[in-house]
Every structure is written in C-alpha cells, then in structure tokens.
C-alpha cells in the first residue's frame, strides 16, 4: 500500500479508475484536476478528514487496489454517529476570508465569458475595448491584486516543495499564458483564438478556485498560529496600501457593467 500512497494521484486514477470514484464519494475532486501530480497520501492529508473517515477511505482504496488481500475493515468508533462530517469543520481566518471574497469577484467575471464568446461567434465582431477591459480585470485584479498576495505572502507560510503549491503556481502560469494569447488574438483580429483562450482561461480558473477554496486554503489556514494569522492580515493590508485606493472598486464597477450588459 505504501507504494500507492507515494504515487501521483492522477496516474493512479488512470490505471485504477475505481480510485477516482472512491475519492469523489469522499468529496475529494481529483478526477477533473488538469495536473494531478499530488501524491495520494498528500491528497488525503490536504482534505483533513476525520480520523475514522480517513481510515475508511484508506481501507476502500486498498481493497480496490488489492482485492485479493485480506484487509481488516476499520471499526466504527464507539458512539460515533453514522452521519459524521466528512471533514473536520473549518471556518476561514479573516485574511483567508478576504482571498475567498476576491475569488467570488473573479467568478463573476468568469460567469460572463460564455455570453461574451457567444456574442463574438454570433456577430463575427470583436469589441476590442470590451475585451481589453476583460483582460485588464484579469491582469490587474485577478493576477496583480489577488494572485500576487498568494505568491508573495500566503505561500511564505507554506512548504513550497509540496506538490499542491507547485500545482497552484503551474495554474497561475498557465492562466497568464491564456491571457497573453488572448491579447495577441485581439490585436490580430483572430476571433476564434480570442474565444478559445477565454474559454480555456475560464475552465482553468474555475477548477483552480475550487482547488484553493476547498483544499489549499483550509489546509494552510489550519496550520497557521494566531500570531501568523495576524501577520498575514497585516501583510495583506500593507500590500493593498501600495495599490491605488480606487483600484478594487474600479474593477468591481467593470464587472457590474458586464453583468448588466449580459444579464
């Protein structure tokens, strides 16, 4: 079993599809992940399952991998309820709650992308000013205002050698690549490439945000001391003080305009 725990989860799922079904049943969404290089043992750790649920998950995985092996079934702890939560309850700290709120604003832009690309395909026209505004939001708000707080501050409190942190960096780099390609396509008038790159960006960021809100943030946040939470809050404030005060509000006004236009 140890060799499987050390294996990359995506490769393991591809070789043994029932593992993906088991993880899904425990609320661990590794199947749709586009990277999937995290080790199985780390995936289990990141999700902070209750001890009984973790033992049960490990048992089910081992039975799926080694059906002929006599694997002892974990006993239900005395007095444990049948409907115990899959994970230990978690409430975000104030600085992490701020990052989640920024994700909510980014998701509002992502929600408008299908209507934007549908309009391009229907009319055959590129509204260059609108599209440049979309990319400006992504670069100015999603990347500089939000992602850099993660990369330059939050990740200082993480082990950057852990696979999940590497995956997040890969996502950020891939997202920037889609934005660069979309910008080039706008300038060259390539409507098909604009639509393709916006859709790719939306798909990546949707999965990325789910990964951070549901896995990474709780995992990191639970490991912070009270002192570190205070440091994080102060450093976020200092970083935001370097940005013009109207920047967040300006980008939110742009999102509101998109929502009115494509309501």
What is the predicted pLDDT for the residue at 85? 47
Query: Per the structure block, which two tokens stand in for 167?
Result: 């995956």
State yes or no: pLDDT of 84 exceeds 70: no
Which residues, in sequence order, are CB contacts of 156 under 8 Å at separation 6+?
none
Alpha-carbon gap, residue 210 to 208, rounded angstroms = 5
Are 34 and 5 within 8 A, CB to CB? no
- The yes or no reply on domain 94-261 and CATH 1.20.120.520 is yes
The CATH code of domain 2-65 reads 1.10.3910
Q: What is the pLDDT of residues 116-125, one digit of tens each?
A: 999 999 999 9
Average pLDDT over residues 114-139: 97
Are 151 and 172 within 8 A, CB to CB? yes
Query: Per the structure block, which two tokens stand in for 165?
Result: 């942190």
Q: What is the DSSP string of 172-232?
A: HHHHHHHHHHHHHHHHHT-HHHHHHHHHHHHHHHHHHHHHIIIIIHHHHHHT--HHHHHHH
Provide the 8-state DSSP code for 140. Answer: I
State yes or no: pLDDT of 105 exceeds 80: yes
What is the predicted pLDDT for the residue at 77? 64
- pLDDT above 70 as % of the chain: 90
Are 142 and 205 within 8 A, CB to CB? yes
- Nearest CA to 163 among 38, 40, 41? 38
| Strand partners for 8 | 39
The CA-to-CA distance between both ends of the chain, in Å, stands at 52
Q: Where are the domains of the chain?
A: 2-65, 94-261
Q: What are phi and psi of 8, to 5 degrees?
A: -65, 135
Are 99 and 142 within 8 A, CB to CB? no
Q: Helix 226-241 vs helix 94-123: angle between axes, to the nearest 10 degrees? A: 50
Give the pLDDT band of residue 1 (cuts 50, 70, 90): low
What is the predicted pLDDT for the residue at 72? 83
Q: What is the pLDDT of residues 144-201, one digit of tens each?
A: 999 889 999 999 999 999 988 999 999 999 999 999 999 999 999 999 999 999 999 9
What is the predicted pLDDT for the residue at 79? 56
Q: Give the residue, 118 or 243, on which the prediction is more confident.
A: 118
State yes or no: pLDDT of 80 exceeds 50: yes
Q: What is the pLDDT of residues 15-44, one digit of tens each?
A: 888 888 888 877 776 656 655 667 777 777
Tell me which residue has tokens 């990347």: 143
Helices (H), 16-145: 17-25, 40-46, 51-65, 94-123, 128-137
What is the predicted pLDDT for the residue at 83? 46
Which residues, in sequence order, are CB contacts of 17 under 8 Å at separation 6+?
none
2-65 with 94-261: one CATH topology? Answer: no
Provide the 8-state DSSP code for 43. Answer: H
Query: Per the structure block, which two tokens stand in for 140?
Result: 């100015």
Across the chain, mean pLDDT equals 88
State yes or no: pLDDT of 5 exceeds 80: no
């Amino acid at each position: 079993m140890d060799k499987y725990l050390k294996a990359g989860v995506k490769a393991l799922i591809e070789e043994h599809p029932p593992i993906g079904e088991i993880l899904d049943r425990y609320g661990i969404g590794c199947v749709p992940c586009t990277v999937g290089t995290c080790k199985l043992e780390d995936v289990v750790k990141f999700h902070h399952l209750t001890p009984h649920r973790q033992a049960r998950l490990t048992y089910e995985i081992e039975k799926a991998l080694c059906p002929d092996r006599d694997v002892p079934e974990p006993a239900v702890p005395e007095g444990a309820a049948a409907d115990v939560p899959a994970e230990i309850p978690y409430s975000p700290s104030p600085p992490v709650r701020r990052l989640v709120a920024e994700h909510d604003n980014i998701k509002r832009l992502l929600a408008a992308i299908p209507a934007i690309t549908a309009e391009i395909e229907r009319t055959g026209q590129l509204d260059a000013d609108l599209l440049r505004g979309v990319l400006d939001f992504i670069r100015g708000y999603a990347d500089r205002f939000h992602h850099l707080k993660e990369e330059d501050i939050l990740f200082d409190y993480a082990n950057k050698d852990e696979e999940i942190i590497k995956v997040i960096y890969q996502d950020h780099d891939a997202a920037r690549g889609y934005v660069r390609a979309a910008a080039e396509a706008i300038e060259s008038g390539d409507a098909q490439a604009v639509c393709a790159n916006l859709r790719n960006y939306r798909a990546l960021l949707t999965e990325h945000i789910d990964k951070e809100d549901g896995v990474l943030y709780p995992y990191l946040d639970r490991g912070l001391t009270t002192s570190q939470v205070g440091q994080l809050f102060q450093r976020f404030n200092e970083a935001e003080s370097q940005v013009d005060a109207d920047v967040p509000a300006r980008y939110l006004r742009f999102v509101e305009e998109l929502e009115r236009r494509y309501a």
